Amino acid sequence: MTRSFNTSAQSRQNLRKAIGPGILVACAAIGGSHLVWSTRAGAEYGWSLVGLVLLANLLKFPFFLYGQIYAAATGESLLDGYRRQGRAYLAIFMLINILTGVINIAGVAMLTAALLIGVIPGSLTTLTLGILAVCTLLSLIGHYKLLDAVSKGVVIILTLSTVAAVIVAMMKGSPPTAAGFVPPSPWTLASFPFLVFLLGWMPAPIDLSAWSSLWIFSRSKQTGHFATPRETSIDFYLGYVMTAVLAVAFIALGKLVMYGTGASFANGAIGFSNQLIGLYAANIGAWSKPLILTAAFATMFSTTQTCVDGYPRALAACCEIFSERRANFNRLHQGWIILSVAGAMLIVGCFAKSLLQHLSFAAAVSFLTSPILAAINLKVMYGSNVPKEYRPGWLLGLISWCGMVGFVGMSVGYIYVEFLR
């Protein structure tokens, strides 16, 4: 009996040590796709896109899971798996990561800064550069431990505040419909680009799967315990289910407060952020605005911090693998942090006055690269070094193939609608 109790206690302790990378992925997803695209989906199309959002979470599910399962099952990162398949696969990932990294870091940093307008003196550009500088400093000195601690608290705060806002909005009921309002359909060619923007970051770009596999090793160094496939699966499910539930919650918030009123989100960063905070304050009460602003800022800051760590971490790992482990990872990571943030700062100067335009471009790029990364992830999971019991079963394989077909089909459709029609 005593041995059984001790074993059970040790198992729970190991599980607690394993939880972290999946929550970090959730934190990155919520700040990018949920605050922006899910809310807009509800505000512009009501409940129409709930099914599509849930389907997107389902179809991307295997590819994010593979990142953590591969690391736990083989003892090496997903990027090592890319290298096993050929140097070209690792090079492709690296090029995609360089492109999407600076774009996405700039986008989330601008949205973070926009939340501070009116609270702290300064222009959007100045505040964005300041936030990027702070995130860079924290990444250089705090590493994974600080990132892990902050993200868990932030996700809990935003989850509670969002659920509270949705409950109050449901109790109040929908606002009066504007005269002459005609419900728009998302199933038209004109609306197709928005669907791609929504799905590009829903729940996150697929390249984040490489981050989680790298974070497993950082978490192991922090706790002294390397997660088993079962433990890392639980960590992943916790974070992923949370992102799916919150995606629907943000759609509900947009629908219950804005849909049918004739109002639409502003294109500029300042106007957009004010409307975003207003969604919460209008339902919970004006007294809650400072609390909600704090929660939203903490979420976006944590997302920015996660991106400033994640993209450079993946690029540093690629360089380390290419060098056959001769290069120093920490120095590579620090170097890529500085280069990535410098590139993001240049982009901020070009898109500071048009936040949604920039976020749309970033989401489109993320979606168009999805089929490539999804195919490589699936190929890696069938590698000879992956134990058979951890390779995708028929159901996971079916979802993976359906996802890739869907990604390719929508990518072709987007290119046709935007450039050929």
Residue 155 falls within a domain, yes or no? Answer: yes
370 close to 404: Cβ distance less than 8 angstroms: no
Percentage of the chain modeled with pLDDT above 90: 43
Find tokens 């949205």 and name the residue. 111
Range scoring the smallest mean pLDDT among 33-42, 272-281, 304-313: 272-281
CA distance 363 to 188: 19
Identify the pLDDT of residue 2: 47
Task: Let me know if residue 145 belongs to a domain.
Answer: yes
Residue 386 has pLDDT above 70, yes or no: yes
CA distance 186 to 118: 35
Cα(72)–Cα(80) distance, rounded to whole angstroms? 13
Confidence of residue 324 (pLDDT cuts 50, 70, 90): confident
Report which of residues 150 and 368 the model is more confident about.
368
pLDDT at 382 over 90: yes
Provide the residue range defining the domain that includes 147: 13-174+182-420
| Domain count along the chain | 1
Flag whether 348 is in a domain. yes
The tokens for 237 are: 């499910």
Span 139-193, pLDDT tens digits:
888 666 777 777 777 777 778 877 888 888 888 777 778 888 888 999 999 999 9
Contact between 273 and 191 (Cβ < 8 Å):
no
Residue 3 inside a domain? The answer is no
Q: Which candidate, 378, 373, 316, places its Cα nearest to that of 69?
A: 378
Q: What is the largest CA-CA distance in the chain?
A: 71
CATH of the domain at 294: 1.20.1740.10
pLDDT tier for residue 60 given thresholds of 50, 70 and 90: very high
Q: Per the domain annotation, does 202 fall within a domain?
A: yes
- How confident is the model over 205-244, as pLDDT tens digits? 898 999 889 989 888 888 888 888 899 999 999 889 988 9
State the Cα–Cα distance between residues 109 and 282, nearest whole angstrom: 25
Q: Is residue 27 part of a domain?
A: yes
CA distances (Å), 31 to each of 62, 72, 307, 320, in order?
Answer: 21, 27, 10, 29
Domain presence at residue 6: no
Backbone Cα Rg of the chain: 21
Tell me if 5 is assigned to some domain: no
Angle made by CA atoms 101, 195, 367, in degrees to the nearest 5: 30
In tens, the pLDDT along 67-104 reads: 999 999 999 999 999 999 999 999 999 999 998 899 89
